[in-house]
């Protein structure tokens, strides 16, 4: 069976096209028909769009900036925490 062009299908009458489609559908397995029916029904439904935070009106938090001394202190704290040698604070 040769593949027909779109122009050839457009020249066919509507009943002839319906007969051709019906013949193809009868030969198709039930699972494929069910999937086709599901997709056709799904296509009729409205599109669901993801609501973004911009649409809601949520403002983004600005990133916190630490000074060099604070970053060094954090690194030291993390290092001591990993080593298990944290000293108690003197008051």
**CA-to-CA distance for 33 and 42, rounded, in angstroms?**
14
Q: How many CA atoms lie within 13 A of 83 on its CB side?
A: 9
Predicted confidence at residue 54, as pLDDT, reads 67
Predicted confidence at residue 50, as pLDDT, reads 74
pTM of structure: 0.45
**CA-to-CA distance for 51 and 59, rounded, in angstroms?**
15
Q: Where are the domains of the chain?
A: 7-38
pLDDT in tens, 2-51: 899 999 999 999 999 999 999 999 999 999 999 999 999 998 888 877 77
Cβ-proximal residues to 32 (8 Å cutoff; 6+ apart), any chain: none
Of 33, 5, 35, nearest in space to 21 by CA? 33
């Amino acid at each position: 069976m040769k593949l027909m062009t779109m122009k050839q299908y457009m020249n066919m009458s509507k009943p002839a096209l319906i007969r051709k489609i019906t013949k193809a559908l009868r030969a198709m397995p039930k699972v494929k028909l069910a999937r086709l029916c599901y997709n056709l029904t799904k296509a009729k439904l409205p599109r669901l769009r993801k609501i973004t935070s911009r649409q809601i009106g949520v403002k983004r938090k600005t990133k916190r900036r630490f000074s060099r001394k604070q970053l060094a202190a954090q690194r030291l704290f993390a290092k001591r925490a990993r080593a298990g040698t944290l000293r108690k604070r003197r008051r």
